[in-house]
Structure 1
Amino acid sequence: MENQTVSMKKVLIIAGAFCAFWIGSGFATGQEVLQFLSTSGAAKGITGAAIYSLLLGFFVYTLYGLGQKMQFSNPYDFFEYYCGKHIGQAYTWFSVVLMYGIYVVMLAGAGAIIQQYYGISVSTGTYCVAILALGTALLGVEKLIDIIGVIGPVKIVFVLAICIAALTVLVQQPDLLAVNSALIQTAGFPTASDNWLWSAILWAFLGLMFGSTFFVISGSACKSPKEARISGLLGVGAIFVAVVLLIIAEIVYLDVIKGQQVPTLAIAKHVAPLLAMVFAPVLMVCIYSSVASILLVVTRKFAVDKTKKFNLIAAALTVVGMFTGTLLPFDQLVNILYPISGYSGIALVAFIIYKEFINKNAFPFEKPGNEQKK
């Protein structure tokens, strides 16, 4: 029988860590929500947010529980658990490359924020966030989760702040949401796909590929499968609320976000200069915590955290990411990489469903012994 130990303090920390990991540059800047949901208008966008959250909730429930039960010595082993040795290895390496690509996208987001608000070069923001994230990743999994677990709720509060301003505008102009919902669909913003429903589903698959190893790592830090699953679902619930409110804010402030690399910062600046003054560094913290998490997850493929090998590889990956993160504009990087990532998750979902619900004995997995720290 499964251990059912649940610590509410631990649940809140793990849920907060999920939010901190999830609200990276794509989400916090508003580009991700804009390209996947807001461009479809309010009704379709919010319905898409619900579908996205239900699918993401299933992925989180499954992988948080698996991580706690299996306690993988290497989080990437879950691919072999679901897909077998050969396909699992292919997915492992694809995931590593994908995660590192998203790491680069997030560093580009940091540069875009610095440039848009402070007027400083893109490279400055990119380099600063990369170095701070490296320092945090070197502290190890447990310390990273403790740090970003506190940052997560702060992110949610500041995202909600600009959304509350949008709701205030709607009270005064109740027809604005309907009018701008029609206009945003022809405003020329890049979109993840031409179909709103497929965009929502694709975003959920992106979430699976983006977050799978982090889900497994977070689950392993819990004391019971129940504690792990509650933590993950609480985090998904908080993200759902933030997504819905952000869709409303972007549609209400359509004229404000046109031509902006960082829609949320443009809205904050429009609502109140003081809010923007606080929001800009908060966005940087959002990206920093996600970048640190991704760097740790990618490096864990090659070495155990807090070892000399881990530190050297993490430093090398940081140096490469610092320079490649300035090659393409941020919105172009999001539009290229994120949809591709979503498509790659479709087959993985099929493997998960097959083993969880059809044949639990498929692809027998023998957990290797714990890696030795060097």
Structure 2
Amino acid sequence: MRNMIKVMQIAFTYIGTIVGAGFATGQEILQFFTQYGRFAPLTILIATVLFVWLGTKIMLLAHEIKATSYEDLNKELFGAQAGKIISFFSMIVLICVNSIMLAGAGSLFVEHFNIHYQTGLLVTLFFSFLLLRKGMSAILTLNSIVVPFMLLFTTLIVLNTIESPTASRWITLVVDKSWTATWAAPFLYTAFNLAMAQAVLVPLGAHMPSKSVIRIGGWIGGIGIGFMLLSGHFALSAYMPGITQFEIPMGNIAYQLGLFAQMVYLILIFSEIFTTFVADVYGVTLQLKQRIPLSITGITLILMIISYTISQFGFSSLLSVLYPLFGLFSLVWLVMIAMKKHKSKVSL
């Protein structure tokens, strides 16, 4: 029973780390999968296999080498010098992504709760700081609460869409998109998300009691991510192509389910931003702890101040400039992870 709880904690934390604000709004699913029409189920299957395989591999190796942070993993995979360089760039990327998440929370407070942008930022930072003082156990607990609600909401969306006369579009929709873009999308999507998730997956793997627990949890988590991707595509494709005009496409679908669904949806978006922000700050803090002689609390405060400063540029501005650059770096990192032959025998 104790191991089963650990398995589900791994699965929920894996899902919660990957499923961020872009996923919840539907934009990521729309841009990487649904816009490619009937081929989307196949590309989602590819992404799911990659999440199961490589996400589990990262956690298993972290467990075997007892990695303190993702820098330890990168050194193991790529050597001491290259590992340091890759980890340093990953840290810069994660700090910027944290700032984007924080800016997204501020925008959510403004647009949907009529609360000042700066207030939204400060409220998010305050509760993040309180949670981070509890360490990995608090991150596991938070995701164990949030992710089941995300899965429930996703199921409600699917059940509502089944009744639509256009429900079959998820496998019949024909679009005019290039084959290169269609089949590159799942690799780009998986690469970016796993590169960002390494900050959490590495300490998560090192924190767990056994490889079997990690393996089963990783498989369940990867399959869960695939289920949510396919469910999102199923719902969005039923409203194509009109749904592409909305900034938050899943929001448009949720609003059709009534006031209760709207409120649940808004809470979930904030929860997903919050869980991703907390997890990434935790991962970067562990890396910096190996480099600078400050307490965990001191490093956390510095990271939050940096994120707050960068978030002043706004959500959409940061998103449009930084994400394409990060995507290219992540693809290179994913290929290196997949191809690297390490000494440790970590099998799936």
Report the counterpart of residue 12 of structure 1 in structure 2: 8
Report the counterpart of residue 185 of structure 2 in structure 1: 199
Structure number with the higher helix fraction is: 2
Distance 2:249 2:108 in 1: 10
Distance 1:26 1:173 in 2: 25
Distance 1:67 1:217 in 2: 7
| Structure 2: unaligned runs, 5 residues or longer | none
Distance 1:33 1:291 in 2: 20
**Per the alignment, do residues 250 and 206 of structure 1 end up closer, same or farther by CA in structure 2, a change over 3 Å counting?**
same
**Per the alignment, do residues 125 and 46 of structure 1 end up closer, same or farther by CA in structure 2, a change over 3 Å counting?**
farther
Report the counterpart of residue 36 of structure 1 in structure 2: 32
- Residue 8 of structure 2 aligns with an amino acid whose one-letter code is L
Query: Would the aligned equivalents of 2:96 and 2:310 in 1 still touch at CA under 8 Å?
Result: no
**Per the alignment, do residues 124 and 29 of structure 1 end up closer, same or farther by CA in structure 2, a change over 3 Å counting?**
farther
1:143 pairs with one of 119, 133, 138: 138
| Structure 1: unaligned runs, 5 residues or longer | 362-374
Percent identical pairs in the alignment equals 20
- Residue 28 of structure 1 aligns with an amino acid whose one-letter code is A
Report the counterpart of residue 348 of structure 1 in structure 2: 333
1:27 pairs with one of 23, 33, 53: 23
- Residue 68 (str. 1) matches residue 63 (str. 2): yes
Residues 160-169 or 344-353, more deviating: 344-353
What is the CA-CA distance between 1:253 and the residue it aligns to? Answer: 3.0
What is the CA-CA distance between 1:26 and the residue it aligns to? Answer: 1.6
TM-score if structure 1 supplies the norm length? Answer: 0.82
What is the CA-CA distance between 1:6 and the residue it aligns to? Answer: 8.2
- Residue 162 (str. 1) matches residue 157 (str. 2): yes
Distance 2:248 2:318 in 1: 13
Distance 1:302 1:354 in 2: 27
What is the CA-CA distance between 1:58 and the residue it aligns to? Answer: 1.6
- Residue 98 of structure 2 aligns with an amino acid whose one-letter code is Y
* Aligned pairs for 1:1-374 within 5 A: 7-41=3-37, 43-169=38-164, 172-174=165-167, 181-182=173-174, 195-254=181-240, 257-303=243-289, 309-330=295-316, 333-356=318-341, 360=343
State the number of aligned residues: 342
Distance 2:148 2:94 in 1: 24
SS at match of 2:313: coil
Distance 1:130 1:32 in 2: 25
TM-score if structure 2 supplies the norm length? Answer: 0.88
Distance 2:170 2:57 in 1: 36
Query: Would the aligned equivalents of 1:79 and 1:92 in 2 still touch at CA under 8 Å?
Result: yes
Distance 2:253 2:59 in 1: 35
SS at match of 1:76: helix
**Per the alignment, do residues 38 and 112 of structure 1 end up closer, same or farther by CA in structure 2, a change over 3 Å counting?**
farther
Distance 2:49 2:183 in 1: 13
- Residue 36 of structure 1 aligns with an amino acid whose one-letter code is F
Distance 2:238 2:119 in 1: 32
